[in-house]
Structure 1
Amino acid sequence: MRLIRLLVGTERLAELTDVLDGEGIDFVVTEERERDAVIVEFPLPVQAMENVDRTLDESGFEDLDYSVVANAETASTERFEELEAEYVEADDETDSVSVEEVRVTARSLLPDRRTYYAMTVLSALVATVGILLDSPAVVIGSMAIAPQVGAAITASTGIVLGETAMIRDGVRSLALGLLVAVVTATLFGLFLHDTGVVSPALHVSTVKQISTRISPGFLSLLLGLCAGSAAALGLATDLPLALVGVAIAAAVVPAAAAVGIGIVWGLPLVALGAGVLLVINAAAILLAGAATLRVMGYHWGGGDSDPDDDRDWARLPPSRETVVAVGTVVLLLLLISVPGVAVVEHVRTEHEVSTVVRDTLDQPSYEDLQFRELQVAFADLGLLGLPTEVTIQVSRPADTTHPSLAGTLDDEVEARTGKPVILAVEFVDRQAASESDDDLGPREPHTDPAGAGQAPPAAHSVATRPGRY
C-alpha cells in the first residue's frame, strides 16, 4: 500500500478533490498558510497507482512541485475496502505497479559504488573459497551477499523505459562488477596457490563446483533467463527481491570465480568455459528482465498516449532513447549468439560422446562395466588449438581389468566427432558381499588390505599418442 502526498495551490484544490472523489479515493487536506497551498494526502493500493497516476496526469497534475509516495502498512477509510476490491481482488490486469514507481524502485536498488564493489569483492572471495572447498553451502552464501541484482534490474528497466542513464549505469555496474569479481578471484586464487594453502597439484577441473560451471549448455542459459524474468516480475508486482537476487547471483558470481581459478591453475578451457557461461548468463538476465517488463505493458513513454495526436509515428525519426534501447538489445543478442555457437557445438559433442560410450559399454566384452559419469571439457572451436578433453567414469568388479577400453573409446569418439580428443577413463572398483549381490550397482571403492584401511585411488587409463597433438 502507498500513501500519497501532493502539494497544490488553493485555487486548484476543488479540481483535485473532484478527481479523487471520482475515483472513489478518501483524502485529507492540510493547509499550508505560508505557501497559499494545501497538502492533499490519500492512501492507495499498489495496484491502483498506475491508473490513478494516469488520471491525475490527464487532469493536469503531472508537474507538481511537491509529490511524495511512501510505503504504508494499513489504512482504514470509508471507501478503502472498495478500492481494494476493485484493484486487488479484481480479475482484470491491475496487479502491476505504476511506471514511475518501477522507475524509482529500480534506481533505488543500485547501491553506491563503494558499497557495490565492496560487496562484489566479498562475494567473489566467498565464492572462490566455496568452489575450492567444493562446498555448495559456501557458494550459496556468496550468492546471498552479491549485489548484482540492482545493476541487472536497473539496466533492464532502462531498456524498457528508454532511460539512457539507467541503461548506462546498470550495464556499466554489472560489467565492471563481474570484472572485479574475476580479478578478485584471480588474485585470491594466486595467493592460495603460491602460499600452499591450496595444493598446486589440485586438479580443479575435477572439483564438482567447477566442473558444473565449465560446460555451459541450454540449462545454464535457462537459469539466466528465469533469474532475469523473476527479477522483473518481482519489481513490477512489488514482491520481495531478496530471493531473486540470489537467483541472479547464482547465474554469474560462481562462474566469475571459476574464471579466476582457471587462470591461476593454467587451465585455459576452464577459464574459457566459465567465461562463456558468465557472458551468456549476464546477457540473458538483462534480456529476460526487459522482455518480461515489456510483456507486462511497460515501455518508453510510460504507456500513455494522446488520442488526439494524429501524427504518423512510424515515419517520425527515432528518438535517442529508442536508438540506445534498441542498440542495447542488439548488443545483448550478439553477446548470447556468438558464444551460443560454442555452446551448441559443445552440447552436440557431449551428446555424440555419450552415444559412443553407451554403445561401446553395451558390447558383450564390457557387460560387467557400469557407466557412472561423463565430463566433456568446453571446446575452444579451434581458437586455442587444443584437443577436447573427455573424462569417463565407470565402475567395475574389483577383480577385473579393461586396459584397452580407453584406446577403444578414444578411436570411436574421434571417428564420431571428427576432432582430436584426449580421453581418460576412471575406473571405480566395486565389491559385492556375495555372488548374487554383484549386480546391485555401484558401491564405494573397496578397501586395500595392505593400505591400513585407506581406499586406493581410482585406476586410470588414458589414451594418448605421442606426437599426435
Structure 2
Amino acid sequence: MRLVQVLVPEGRRESVLDSLDVQGVDYAVFEEVGRGDFEAMVQFPVPPSGVETVMEELTKAGIRDDTYTIVLATETVVSQRLSALKERFPGLRISREELHARAEDLAPANSTFFSFLLLSTVIATTGLLLDSAATIIGAMVVAPLMGPAVSASVGTILADRRMASRGVTLQVTGLLAAIATAAILGVLLRETLLIPPGLEIREIPQVAERTSPNVLSLFLALGSGIAGSISIMRGSGSTLVGVAIAVALVPPAATSGLGLAFGLPSVALTGAVLVVVNLLAINLSALILFYLSGFKPLDAGEQEGVRASIVSRITVIGIALAVLSVVLAGVTYASFQTASFERETQIELQRQFDEADVEGVELASVTVDYGPADLLLGNQPRVDVLVGVPRDLDVPPDLAQRFDDHLTEQMGRDVVVRVGFVEAQISDDAETRPSLGRLVPDRPPVIRHG
C-alpha cells in the first residue's frame, strides 16, 4: 500500500475532496498554514497500481503536476474502503512518479559507479584467469550496471532526456572502461610470476565460454532486462537481478580486455561482440516491458512525440540486435556441427575396433581437435587416437592412414589422424575391458601420423 500526501491549492479543496469521494478513497484533511498558496493537505491510502490513476483524477480537479506530493510505502492500512480499492487496482505496478524516483536512486554518482565497476572488473578478470566461477559471480555482486540499464529505458519512456542520456552514457563508457581495465591488468600480470609463461587463455574454460557465444546468450540478456524491469516496477529482488545483468556484461568485457592484453584479436573481438549483443538485448527488453506496462511521460503534452521516439528506438535496437544475432547464429551452427563431428568420429572409430575384435587391442581414447573457428575458416579436423596393444602384437604401420581414409569417406571431409600406441597389460581376473587408466606403458608411446 501507498500513503499519498498532497497539498491542495487555494480554492480547490472542495473539488479535490469530491474527486476522492467519487473514486472511493478514504482521506484525512489537515489545514495548511505554512504556504500562502495552499489551503490544506490531504492524505489517503491507495494500492501501488492505483496511485497514478488517482493522481490523474486529482490533476483534473485542480492539483498541479508540480504540486508538493509525497508517496510513502506503508506496512499496514485500516480503511473501510480498502477492499474495494484493492479490487479496483489489483496489480502491483507502481506509478510513473515512483518509477522515476526509483530509477534515479539506482543510478549512482559517477565516482561511485566507476569505482565499483572497475573493482568488479578486476575481480572478474582474476576469476577468468583462475577459471573460478565463484570468483566471477562474486565480482557481479559489486558491479553497479543495473541502475544505468534501467534508468536509460525509464528516461526514454517518461521523456526524461537527461536520465535517458545519462543511463546510456554510463553503460557505454563504463563497459569501455571495463575492457581497458582488464587489458591493463592483463598486461601487468603477464610481467609477473602470477601467470605461467606461455599461458593460452583460450584454453581456460571460463574464457572459452565467452569466446564462443551462441544464440543462448541472448536468453540471459533478455531475461536479465525483463527481470530488472519487473523488480523496479514491483520493488523486489533488485540486488539479485543486478547480479544477472552484470553477469551478461562484465565477464565478456573482461574477456575482451584479456584478448587485447595477450595479443589475441579474435578473443577481443568475440568478447566485444558478446558485450554489445547483451547490452542491446537488456535495453531492448526493458524498454519494451516498460512500454507495454502502460507508463506515460510525466508531461502529458509529450506523449505523442515520446511514442514515436520509443517505436523508432525499439526498431533501431532490434535491427542492430538482429544483425549481430546472425553472428551468434553462425557460431551456434558451427558449434553444433563440430560437436556432431566429434561424436560421430568417436562412434565410428569405436565401431571399427569392435568389428575388428582383435584380442588384447583396445581403443583407449579418441580426441578431436576441431572448433567452430576451424569450421568457419575451413581448417581440417585433427583426430588423435590412442590404442592399447599387447607387447607381442605387431601393429600395422599404416594404421593412421587407414583411419584417415575411412573417416574421410564416412564424414565427407578431409581429416588429419595421429595414432599413438601404448603397450597394454591385462590381469587374468579382469572383469571389464581396460580403460585408459589401466593401460600401463612399459615404454614411451609411439606416435604415427597420417
TM-score by length of 2: 0.80
CA separation of 1:180/1:372 partners in 2, compared to 1, >3 Å: closer, same or farther?
Answer: same
In the TM superposition, what are the counterparts of 1:243-262 in structure 2 within 5 Å? 243-262=240-259
1:5: which partner in 2? 5
CA separation of 1:389/1:297 partners in 2, compared to 1, >3 Å: closer, same or farther?
Answer: farther
Distance in 1 between the 2:92 and 2:77 partners? 19
1:210-231 CA distance string (max 9 Å, x none): 1111111111111111111111
2:72: which partner in 1? 70
Contact 1:376 / 1:391 at 8 angstroms: preserved in 2? no
In the TM superposition, what are the counterparts of 1:84-163 in structure 2 within 5 Å? 84-88=86-90, 94-163=91-160
Contact 1:43 / 1:75 at 8 angstroms: preserved in 2? yes
Distance in 1 between the 2:20 and 2:197 partners? 71
Distance in 2 between the 1:462 and 1:17 partners? 92
Contact 1:398 / 1:446 at 8 angstroms: preserved in 2? no
Task: Tell me whether 1:220 sits opposite 2:222 in the alignment.
Answer: no
Match of 2:21, as an amino acid?
D
Name segments (4+ residues, structure 1) moved above 4 Å. Answer: 299-302, 321-324, 369-375, 377-381, 386-392, 394-416, 421-427, 429-435, 445-451, 458-463
Task: Tell me whether 1:438 sits opposite 2:430 in the alignment.
Answer: no
2:59: which partner in 1? 57
2:358: which partner in 1? none
Contact 1:389 / 1:423 at 8 angstroms: preserved in 2? no
Task: Tell me whether 1:376 sits opposite 2:386 in the alignment.
Answer: no
Distance apart, 1:285 and its partner CA: 0.6
Match of 1:111, as an amino acid?
P
Distance apart, 1:251 and its partner CA: 0.6
- Of stretches 196-205 and 218-227 in structure 1, the one that deviates more from structure 2 is 196-205
Distance in 1 between the 2:243 and 2:182 partners? 19
Distance in 2 between the 1:431 and 1:248 partners? 54
Contact 2:385 / 2:418 at 8 angstroms: preserved in 1? no
1:177-227 CA distance string (max 9 Å, x none): 111111111111111111221123222111111111111111111111111
SS of residue matched to 1:95: coil
CA separation of 1:372/1:323 partners in 2, compared to 1, >3 Å: closer, same or farther?
Answer: farther
TM-score by length of 1: 0.77
SS of residue matched to 2:31: strand
In the TM superposition, what are the counterparts of 1:219-368 in structure 2 within 5 Å? 219-300=216-297, 319=305, 321=306, 324-363=309-348, 364-365=351-352, 368=363
1:310: which partner in 2? none
Distance apart, 1:256 and its partner CA: 0.7
Distance in 2 between the 1:430 and 1:172 partners? 64
Distance apart, 1:286 and its partner CA: 0.6
The structure whose residues are more often helix, as a share, is 2
Distance in 2 between the 1:42 and 1:228 partners? 34
SS of residue matched to 2:3: strand
1:302-352 CA distance string (max 9 Å, x none): 8x799xxxxxx9xxxx73x45654453344234323332222222222222
SS of residue matched to 1:39: strand
1:91: which partner in 2? none
Contact 1:269 / 1:377 at 8 angstroms: preserved in 2? no
Distance apart, 1:108 and its partner CA: 2.1
Contact 1:391 / 1:426 at 8 angstroms: preserved in 2? no
CA separation of 1:365/1:166 partners in 2, compared to 1, >3 Å: closer, same or farther?
Answer: same
Contact 1:377 / 1:390 at 8 angstroms: preserved in 2? no
Residues paired across the two proteins, number: 430
- Of stretches 160-169 and 262-271 in structure 1, the one that deviates more from structure 2 is 160-169
Calculate the aligned-residue CA RMSD, in Å: 4.2
Distance in 2 between the 1:78 and 1:55 partners? 21
SS of residue matched to 1:41: strand
Contact 1:127 / 1:253 at 8 angstroms: preserved in 2? yes
